[in-house]
Each structure stands twice: as structure tokens, then as C-alpha cells.
Chain A
Amino acid sequence: MQSTRTMEILVGAFMAAGLVALFFLAMRVSNLSAASAGPGYSLTARFDNIGSLKVRAPVSMAGVRLGRVDAIDFDQDSYQASVTLRIDAAYDQIPADTFANIYTAGLLGEQYVALDPGGSPDYLRDGDQIEHTQSALVLERMIGQFLFNKAQEDTE
């Protein structure tokens, strides 16, 4: 029979090990350390077609992640997708005429929002809307266009 003290120490060590493992999973394995739950501001952008963009997809400029997609809604008046972007508070100098594109990471990767900076001296603030957007590339539409052009060339 173990003495009470040894048992207490071992139980303490067990619980500490379990909590350390949980901490490891949170900080090292998952994205908690990188998650921007901190302060930030919201921008909206309207796209004709968002492809398969998902909530929480990254928002990046020059390949650096500035924030993430917060919400995706459908606007019944303009039949467009209204995408809410959550940008980290540290990046508060995004020009007002910035261009928002939906790109795909890799050939089969997930889609993300890429911002191309404009030249305006004014900066986007909380609640502003990004005016210039480009929709996601839909593969079927591209192939259709390609075939259409090809057919036109052949008839000429």
C-alpha cells in the first residue's frame, strides 16, 4: 500500500501531465496560438460568385495572413454573396480602393480571399465595404469559355 503522500504526488503529477498534454494540443497542434480572437475590425465585400469559400478561410495580402472570413451571406436584392472579413487590428492601413479576389491555394486546395492593395491615401475602417472584387474562378465556366473561343477560332 502506497503512503498517502506518494499517492498524492503521483495524482498531482498525473493531472499536471494531462493538463500539459491538453495545453500542447491547444497551442502546438491546433491553431489557438494563431487564432485572431483578439481585437480586429470587419469589412464586407460582395462577390458574384464565391466558389467554395468557407467561413474561417484566411484573408491575406501579399501572402501574409491578415485575418479570416467571418461570415458569408446571400444578398437577395443584388443576388450576390456578401462576405464579412475580420481583419486583425494591427493591419489598419489597408487602402480604400483595395481589390479583393478569391483564389485557390494549390491545385486542389481550399479557397481564400486575397487583397491587392490600391493606391488611395484613405484607409478602410470598421464596417466599410470593399468595392472592387473578383469572383472565384469556376472551372466549368473557364472550360466552357475556352471551348467557345476555340469553336469561334475554327469557324473564322
Chain B
Amino acid sequence: MLSDPLTRLGRSGIGAIAGLGRAHLLLASILGGLLEALVRPRLVLAQLFNVGVLSTLIIAVSGLFVGMVLGLQGYYVLAQFGASESLGIMVSASLVRELGPVVTALLVAGRAGSALTAEIGLMKTTEQLSALEMMAVDPVRRILAPRFLAGVIAMPLLAALFSALGVLGGWFVGVGLLGVDDGAFWSQMQAKVDFRDDVVNGVIKSLVFGVVVTWIALFQGYDTKPTAAGVSRATTRSVVHSALAVLGLDFILTALMFGD
């Protein structure tokens, strides 16, 4: 029939908008449950362990290597202009402004976001969430809110860790291996990297990414079809949507913060 594709298009459009609406309703009720999560710090602590501590290794190693690669590549380009002393600026500015928050968010989405989605999705599939509700425990406040809070707290800390280790990695390659002057490396960096404009904006970025990545992961888990295939699809979608949202938001945030 002629109207068949049109029907499908309409159905998927309505489905997408309805999903967006459910996601925002979920976010509203999670935000409503945040105070309660603060009263029970033990629940948040356990999630901080899952999201933060267990992500530390991959973040640290990635940060170190990204910084080292930046040092190598940056030196190659800058040496052609006789400006290899500016390596510190290049490495630190690109890490603090962009790579730190963005790559950390992508890694956390893959490492912790997918785990969150699978966990919540399985809880729903095995009807643990319904069981909680039957015992008059609100699963949003008891399960989702502490995870959300932990994700938002952990993201900026992980991003800072990533950037700091990246700068050290760039320093190791630039100063240690390629012979850039140690003093010039740090002093040029300090002269050009601004605390308010660069470091604070980077932290704001990673806070936003923390909210978005955790929100998407929780929503995909909470909204999953209660089947094995449903959980698997939700986990995939959680990572894909998080990555797209982070990259898209990064452009908007960068345009707002640095485009004067």
C-alpha cells in the first residue's frame, strides 16, 4: 500500500517524541528524589564506587596516552614553526577544553553507562523494580537517584584526572623524550591557560556530560522492553545515544563558551 511507509514514519516519529517525553518525566522524578539520595549517602557511595573507582584505571591510562600522543604530534607540527616551546599550551589547552571532558564522557558512557543500563534493565526484566514498588519503595528514588547523583559527581573528577594525567603524559614526551625546555613548557602553559575560561569551562562541560550520560543510561534501562533482546538493545542504544549527545552538546557548549 502507498500509505504504509507514511504510517511507519509517523509511528516512529510519535514513538521518538513519546520516548523523549518519558525521558524528561523520568529526569524530573529523579531530580525530585535527589534530596532523599543525599540523606542516604551510603547508596550514593556504592554507586560512586561502581561509576568512579572502577572507571579510574581506563580513564588514567587513556589520559596518559592521549597526552603522550598530543605531545608527539604537537611537537612535530610546532617544531616546523620553531615554536616547540608552545607544546605545553597546545597539550594542556586541548586537554582541558575539549579532550578531557569529551573523551572522559565517551569512556564513561561505554564503561559505566552501559553497565547502568544493563543493571536497571535486568532489574526491570526480572521484576525487581515492580517488587520494590509493591513494598511501597519508590524505585526511582531508591535505585535511580543515587546512581544519577554518583554519575554527576564522578564525571568532573574523572575528567580532571584525565586532563591532569594527559598533561603529565605530554610533559613526559615533550620534555623527557623530545627535549623541549622544562621551564618554557610550564611557564608558557601557565601564561596562556586561563583558570576561569579554560579550567572552569571544562569542569562545567563535564558536569553537563555527567548529567546527560547518566540520564540516558538510566532512562534506557528503565524504559527497556522486559526481554533479553530488549536489554541488549537498550544497552547498545544507551552507548550510541550518549556518544551522539555528548558530541553534539560539546559543539553547542563550545560555541557558547569560547565563541565570543
Contacts and interface: CB of A to CB of B under 8 A. Distances in A.
B135 to A, nearest CB: 23
A27 B258 CA distance: 21
Interface stretch (B14-22, B193-201, B216-224, B234-242): B193-201
Nearest to B157: A18
Chain B interface, >50% SS class = helix
Contacts of A22: 156-157, 160, 164, 199, 203
A33 B190 CA distance: 9
Given A35-B195, A56-B194, A29 B56 contact: no
A52 B45 CA distance: 51
Interface in B30-55: 45-46, 48-49, 52-53
A11 B52 contact: yes
Interface string A1-40: 0100001101101110111111011101111111100000
B183 to A, nearest CB: 13
Interface residues of A, number: 26
A35 B190 CA distance: 10
Contacts of A2: 49
B47 to A, nearest CB: 10
Most buried by B among A22, A24, A30, A56: A30
A21 B165 contact: yes
Contacts of B53: 7, 10-11, 13-14
B163 interface: yes
A17 B56 contact: yes
B160 to A, nearest CB: 4
B163 A25 contact: yes
A120 to B, nearest CB: 31
Interface string B171-204: 0000000000000001001111111001100110
Contact of B194 (A13, A15, A21, A31): A31
Interface of A: 2, 7-8, 10-11, 13-15, 17-22, 24-26, 28-35, 56
Interface of B: 45-46, 48-49, 52-53, 56, 92, 96, 153-154, 156-158, 160-161, 163-165, 167, 186, 189-195, 198-199, 202-203
30 contacts: A8-B45, A11-B45, A11-B49, A14-B49, A14-B56, A15-B52, A15-B153, A17-B157, A17-B161, A18-B157, A19-B157, A21-B157, A21-B163, A21-B164, A25-B96, A25-B160, A25-B163, A25-B167, A25-B199, A25-B202, A28-B186, A29-B92, A29-B167, A29-B189, A29-B199, A30-B190, A30-B194, A30-B198, A34-B191, A56-B194
